[in-house]
Amino acid sequence: MAEQENEKLWHVIYTKSKWEKKVDSLLMQRGFESWCPVQKKERQWSDRKKIIEEPLFRSYVFVKAAKVERNQILSVNGVVNFLYFEKKPAIIRDKEIQTIKKYLGESYQSIQVVDMTNIPPQTRVAINNGLFMGQKGEVIKSGKKNVFVRLESINMMMIVEFKVEEISVI
């Protein structure tokens, strides 16, 4: 995807550890459109259980910005650098951002994110049902109801639970 100087595209920025939500807030305060996807998780303490919002992608925040705004973004406290893919800043398609947002909006769904730098691709599948219907992906591992779907633009994968009948080999 060729990037124009003033064209605003979704980028991935790498943050200091456990700074995802703070960086998201600081970017928005500076007028940037940013997003730190979170999902609710139940945590057990010795005396109680608590529901917390945990970042979906550890140390990553998405920001929609133009090429000319990169230095401003890098000056935000907590930002380490842009994530690079094939020696260029990683660009995420709007469709991928919308799919993640839609999926996180489903209260019964859960997504796990796994770094897949050293995992080779395997079988190609098509999703036949549900939110990801029509999408294709590479199965990294499968069980009775788990399928690992890869987001190629950031070299990460989402682990999404599907019923066996919802996928087919292509």
Cα–Cα separations (whole angstroms), residue 60 to 55, 95, 152? 8, 18, 15
How much is the pLDDT for 117? Answer: 42
Every domain range in the chain assigned CATH 2.30.30.30: 112-169
How much is the pLDDT for 151? Answer: 47
Q: Which one, of 63, 55, 64, 60, lies nearest residue 37 by Cα?
A: 55
How much is the pLDDT for 120? Answer: 41
> What is the residue type of 104?
L
Q: Which CATH number fits domain 9-92: 3.40.630.30, 3.40.30.10, 2.40.40.20, 3.30.70.940?
A: 3.30.70.940
How much is the pLDDT for 132? Answer: 65
| Residue 69 phi, psi (nearest 5) | -95, 0
Q: Which CATH number fits domain 112-169: 3.30.1490.20, 3.40.50.720, 2.30.30.30, 3.30.413.10?
A: 2.30.30.30
How much is the pLDDT for 48? Answer: 87
Residue with tokens 């200091």: 16
How much is the pLDDT for 14? Answer: 93
Residue with tokens 């292509």: 170
Contact assessment for residue 158 and residue 149, using Cβ atoms and an 8 Å cutoff:
yes
How much is the pLDDT for 121? Answer: 47
Helix H segments across the chain? 20-29, 70-74, 94-104
> pLDDT tens digits, the chain, 170 residues: what are they?
556 778 999 999 999 999 999 999 999 999 999 999 988 777 888 888 888 888 888 899 999 999 999 999 999 999 999 988 778 888 888 988 988 888 777 655 566 665 534 434 467 666 666 666 676 677 666 655 566 666 455 556 666 666 655 666 66
Q: Which one, of 60, 55, 56, lies nearest residue 159 by Cα?
A: 56
Beta-sheet pairing, 9-15 with 60-65 = antiparallel
How much is the pLDDT for 35? Answer: 95
The CA distance from 134 to 119, in Å, is 24
Every domain range in the chain assigned CATH 3.30.70.940: 9-92
